[in-house]
Amino acid sequence: MSDLHQTVTTGFQTRFDTEPTGLWSAPGRVNLIGEHTDYNDGFVFPFAIDRRTVVALGVRADRLVRVASSFAEETVELSLDDLTPENLEGWSAYPLGVAWALGQFGADLAAVAGFEVFIDSDVPIGAGLSSSAAIESAVAVALNDVWQLGLDRRVLARVGQLAENRAVGAPTGIMDQSASLLGRADAAVFLDCRSLAAEVIPLGFDAAGLELLIIDTRVSHAHSTGGYASRRASCEKGAQLMGVLSLRDLDVDDLARARDLLDDETFRRVRHVVTENQRVLDTVRTLREQGPTAIGALLDASHVSMRDDFEISVPELDLAVETARATGAIGARMTGGGFGGAAIALTPHALIPAVTAAVTAAFAARGFGTPDLFVVRAADGAAREQD
């Protein structure tokens, strides 16, 4: 039994004085490319990583819901009858928000049984690796099983997103939950966020001698406030002024018209999204035709676009990217929502120690806090664990 299996099982037994019905898990994710494109109905190309959230969940005979975790002392308790987004707060809004959101997607919350859940995770929090989507997806698959809802994984992704939007209050898109639910080992998920058509595409990093290095700047970010929401608003404004439903409906040929029509800031926000969608398509094609060693320039271009046009990078992310590229990474970019979190560097296996040392030294020389660097592998999505 893995450590997380052990801690959730023991945690469940200690807090609830009974045995769980089963264990379920879901991974965090890293986005290879396609940033701030999901809520513009565009394309993303993330993968599930080998860091997971595990939940032990048991059904009850009454209508009570109780949630506990290894990251908080408290056990949060309420009745299914009181489950509304307004009643939820703090970390428990993630699992309980999912239970509420399932009700919005067909679960009859007046008829289902209460439950108890204990949560633990080795997805780093605040690193931009979607520790929140990992919780949401693990709870979503668990409740989908025990409540026998039979919901498709793409619907479960929308359940997690609704929980995040309404119960947590972060206006995020569909990417993170989709990666956590649809991911496969050694592959990334090419997702059309409009149709939700998803294709699992082999990455081939191992065969090419490449690793994906995460550089967690440890600069914290929160998407329920500030920059994320304002970028989303700029995209909506740009789409409206350009007369389209969403920025997905524009392509690079439309940018000349956009420059004439939009103020400079809105134009640059639009240009990021339009060119980033194209970069996702180019990355998928390049990966298929030439393999992963050929996608580095697209990762680099994505970073420049986020730094200069979308303006969501921070000095720590820029330094991480520049130093990784200067010391042997074949492509690097900030990943996730921005304003902190992590960068990724696609790096030849043998150069991982050199890049790690160089980035750590560069951060120290600039007086930045110590970053955390580690390699992630593409892993399978959410699943019921063997008991």
Give the whole-angstrom CA distance, residue 129 versus residue 108: 32
Interface with ligand GLA, residue 309, by CB under 6 A: no
Q: Show the site string, 235-274: x = touches ligand GLA by CB under 6 A, - = not.
A: ----------------------------------------
Tokens of 94: 């993630």
Interface with ligand GLA, residue 120, by CB under 6 A: no
Nearer to ligand GLA, 31 or 137 (CB): 31
DSSP per-residue string spanning 64-90: EEEEEETTEEEEEEEEGGG--GGG--G
Report the nearest approach of ligand GLA to the CB of residue 169 (Å).
13
Interface with ligand GLA, residue 183, by CB under 6 A: no
CA distances from 97 to 39, 141, 159, 160 (A): 20, 14, 9, 8
What letter represents residue 175's amino acid?
M
CB distance 377 to 349 below 8 Å: no
Q: Which of 20, 173, 183, 296 binds ligand GLA (CB under 6 A)?
A: 173
Give the whole-angstrom CA distance, residue 146 versus residue 51: 24
Report the nearest approach of ligand GLA to the CB of residue 31 (Å).
6
Q: Which of 40, 53, 121, 172 binds ligand GLA (CB under 6 A)?
A: 172
Catalytic residue among 38, 120, 176, 216: 176
CB distance 134 to 121 below 8 Å: yes
Q: Show the site string, 129-168: x = touches ligand GLA by CB under 6 A, - = not.
A: ----------------------------------------
Give the whole-angstrom CA distance, residue 336 versus residue 143: 27
Q: Show the site string, 16-35: x = touches ligand GLA by CB under 6 A, - = not.
A: ---------------x---x
Give the whole-angstrom CA distance, residue 90 versus residue 132: 12
Q: Which of 116, 120, 136, 176 binds ligand GLA (CB under 6 A)?
A: 176
The torsion angles phi and psi of 272, rounded to 5 degrees, stand at -60, -50
Give the whole-angstrom CA distance, residue 317 versus residue 216: 9
The torsion angles phi and psi of 304, rounded to 5 degrees, stand at -60, -40
Interface with ligand GLA, residue 385, by CB under 6 A: no
Nearer to ligand GLA, 107 or 295 (CB): 295
Is 176 designated active site? yes
3-state secondary structure of 24: strand
How many positions of this chain bind ligand GLA (CB under 6 A)? 12
Report the nearest approach of ligand GLA to the CB of residue 161 (Å).
8
Give the whole-angstrom CA distance, residue 212 versus residue 54: 23
Site for ligand GLA in 333-352 (CB under 6 A): 336-337
Give the whole-angstrom CA distance, residue 62 versus residue 81: 11
Interface with ligand GLA, residue 216, by CB under 6 A: no
Interface with ligand GLA, residue 381, by CB under 6 A: no
Nearer to ligand GLA, 172 or 286 (CB): 172
Q: Which of 7, 8, 38, 234 binds ligand GLA (CB under 6 A)?
A: 38
CB distance 272 to 307 below 8 Å: no
Give the whole-angstrom CA distance, residue 198 versus residue 335: 20
CB distance 10 to 128 below 8 Å: no
Report the nearest approach of ligand GLA to the CB of residue 38 (Å).
5
Q: Which of 16, 39, 118, 147 binds ligand GLA (CB under 6 A)?
A: 39
Interface with ligand GLA, residue 175, by CB under 6 A: yes
Interface with ligand GLA, residue 48, by CB under 6 A: no
Q: Which residues contact residue 120 at a Cβ distance below 8 angstroms, ignoring those fewer than 6 apart?
A: 4, 7, 8, 11, 53, 54, 69, 70, 71
Report the nearest approach of ligand GLA to the CB of residue 126 (Å).
12
Residues near ligand GLA (CB under 6 A) are 31, 35-36, 38-39, 172-173, 175-176, 223, 336-337
* Active-site amino acid positions: 176
